[in-house]
Structures are given as structure tokens and as C-alpha cells.
Structure 1
Amino acid sequence: MTREVRAFAVTVLTLAALGVAAGLLWSGLTPRAPYQVTERGTVLADPTTQALIAADGWFAVITGGLGLLCGGVAWFSGRRWMLPVLLGLCAGGALASFLTLWTGSTFTIGAVTVEAAAAPGVKVVPGALKLTASGVMVSWPLLAVGFFGLLEGMHGYRDSPLRQPYGGLGPS
């Protein structure tokens, strides 16, 4: 029992650490939306900007790619404790997505430049990273568990008697 708990905990903690690193990568790669400072607060300077969509896209690409990587590594390394590792992928992937969002929106990595056509005397500032499509939060756990299941299904089918004609029993 303790080995299963240890396999689960190691999987979750590993994915959580990767989530922090993914958040820093997301912060460094994603463009910031331009906001202008007014007397009522900050408003979007360019309503046609694609930076908000790009933030969602970069988040999905980074977390989805890491989900595939984690699913493959977990399947190859966790062959003795399949169920705890699979549950760890699910819980750790969800935690890693939240940590990616928190880290990326809290810390700014790299130089942030904002380009927007502003009227003279209007101050334009970069906006904080945030997700507008919250559905991309499930890309890490979904792809990790899905790829893990795909690898296990292909491996199980290869050794299955159902792969042979007549289920390995021969014609009657």
C-alpha cells in the first residue's frame, strides 16, 4: 500500500514542479494585450488584438505537449503501479494546469513590449496574462491520461489472444 501511495505522490509532485516551469515558459512566450490607462482605470487599447487568443493558444500548446510527454514517460516508467500512476497523472495534471496559470499570470519573464496605436498623451501598458477560454485548463490531464491509455491499449492488444484469428483457438 505504501508503494502505491508513494507512486501517486511522486507523480503528482513531479507534475506540480513541471507546472511551475510551464508557467514561466508560458509567461516568457506569450504576447501581452495592450491596455490604455484612463481616469476610470485600464481598458483594452486595441479591441481587435489577437493577444488574448494567443495566450490561450500558447497555454494549450505548452500544457498539452507536457501532458503527452508526461503520459508517455509515466507509462514507460510506472509499469508496476499502473493505477496509482494513472490517478497521479489525472490529479497532478489538474494541479499542474492551475500552477501553470498562477505562475504565468503572477511572474513576468522576459521583456514585455506593447504595440498599439494610441492617441498622443495616452499611456499604453501591457496587460497581465489570463485565460479567456478556461477549457484549455484540461489539456494537460486529458492528454496525459489519454496518451497513457492509448499506450496501454496498444500494448495490451499486442499480447491479446484476440489479435489472432479465432481468438487463438483455431478454426472449428
Structure 2
Amino acid sequence: MTERNLAAGAVVFGGVAILGVPLGVLWWLVAPRAEVTATSGGVAYYPLSEAGFAGEGHYALMMLAAGLLTGYLGYLTQYGLARRHRVDLRLPVLVGLAAGTLAGSFTAWLTGAGLDAGAAHAALTLARPGDVVQAGLALRSHSALLLWPFATVLQYGLFDAVSVWREDLPHLDDPAPADGLDAGVPKTGAAER
């Protein structure tokens, strides 16, 4: 039973963590970039502007949406497996989701920022002092990395709490009768005649 739980948690972890790559690419495609002014030292001067925070806002909203979706799909998957195989996988799936979404958040950040780093550095290197260039994607608010795991665990926990409250835990249900008839309906047959 422990091996099955570890395997379920590992599969969930890997499946969710790999989602960070397409989310990072999506962030790189849709997020606006701030304009910065090059200085004589080659460093950029970052003015306070909406565009400076918009890239991080896009990342935060994407992570929240991904969290709601992965929490919901993770619970549905666990519920279906529990109904089919009569096993309780709630905890391993939850731990796999929490760890996988945390790894996926880092992966999305590093993917999006990494795709932008080369072009932003090249533009800054070629710029003369006073030139305005686009900065690369950056995540200065590292607390945004926790949004995906937070939303996932919250969504999963809410669905699990409703199942516990309704006493609708499929791994505790009685197995369906082999002949497909309801348990409460008496069987009629030749032996009763």
C-alpha cells in the first residue's frame, strides 16, 4: 500500500511540475515588458510604471488560474481512482499536488525569465546611455511563487471537505453488486417460485 501511495504521489508530482514549462512560455508570450533607460555603466534604470508590475501581475493571475484548475482536476482524478480501485489516495495526491505545483511555479518563472534574458541583455549591452530599451521578464515579488500551490491545495481541500461532510468517500463505499442490481432490491428468480 505504501508503494502505491508513493507511486501515486510521484506521478502527480511529475505531471504537475512539467506544466510549469508551458505556463512559463505562455507568461513570456503575453506579459508586457517595462521600458528602462540605459546608464553609462550599462545598468538599466527602472522607473516606477504600470508595465513594471504588469508582468508580475500576469504571472500571479496565471498561477492562480492554474492552481484552481489543477486542484479541481487532481481531486477528480483521485476521486475516480478511489471509486474504481477502492483505495484512499487523498493524502498522496495532495502532497504530490503541493510539491508539484511549487516546482512548477519555479519552472514557469525560470522558463519565462530565461526566454527573455538573452534578448534583454543584448539590447541593454548595445544601448547607449540614455537609450530606452525593453527589460526582460523578472519576478521581484517571490511570494507569487506560492500562489499556484496555495490555490491548488485550497481547491483540493474544499472538494475533499465537501466529500467528508457529505460522507461521499468512494474508497469507503460498499462495492457494487456483481450482477448490477441494487442492494436494496430483492432478487427474483426460479428458486423463489
TM-score, scaled to structure 2: 0.72
In structure 2, the residue matched to 1:167 is none
> How many residue pairs align between the two structures?
150
| Number of the residue aligned with 1:28 | 29
One-letter code aligned to 2:68: L
Work out the CA distance in 2 between the residues paired with 1:159 and 1:16: 31
Query: Structure 2: which amino acid aligns with 1:107?
Result: L
**Corresponding residue number in structure 2 for 1:131:** 139
Match of 1:150 in 2: 158
Aligned residue for 1:31, secondary structure, equals coil
| Cα displacement string for residues 83-128 of structure 1 (whole angstroms, at most 9, x for unaligned residues) | 11000111111101100110010014xxx9xxxxxxx984222111
* 1:106-153 alpha-carbon deviations (Å, 9 max, x no partner): 014xxx9xxxxxxx9842221111112221111000010110000011
Separation in structure 1 between the aligned mates of residue 11 and residue 65 of structure 2, nearest angstrom: 20
1:24-63 deviations in whole A, cap 9, x for unaligned?
Answer: 0111111111122222123236x23212211121111111
State the one-letter code of the partner of 1:56: E
Partner SS, residue 133 of structure 2: strand
Q: Describe how 1:1-172 pairs up with structure 2 within 5 A.
A: 1-44=2-45, 47-79=47-79, 80=82, 81-108=89-116, 122-159=130-167
Q: Would the aligned equivalents of 1:89 and 1:145 in 2 still touch at CA under 8 Å?
A: yes
Aligned partners of 1:82, 1:137: CA distance in 2, in Å? Answer: 24
User: In structure 2, how many angstroms separate the alpha carbons of the residues matched to 1:134 and 1:156?
Assistant: 34
Structure 2, unpaired ranges of 5+:
83-88, 121-127, 169-193
State the one-letter code of the partner of 1:54.
A
Paired residues of 1:7 and 1:85 also in contact (CA < 8 A) = yes
Distance 1:134 1:121 in 2: 30
Provide structure 1 residue ranges, at least 5 long, that are not aligned to the other structure: 113-119, 161-172
Return the offset for 1:82. Answer: 0.9
| Structural RMSD (CA) | 2.1
Moved over 4 A (4+): none
Match of 2:189 in 1: none
Q: Per-residue deviation at 1:69?
A: 0.4
Do the aligned partners of 1:63 and 1:139 also contact (CA within 8 Å) in 2? yes
Greater gyration radius: 2
Checking the alignment, whether the CA contact within 8 Å between 1:52 and 1:132 is kept in structure 2 is: no
TM-score by length of 1: 0.80
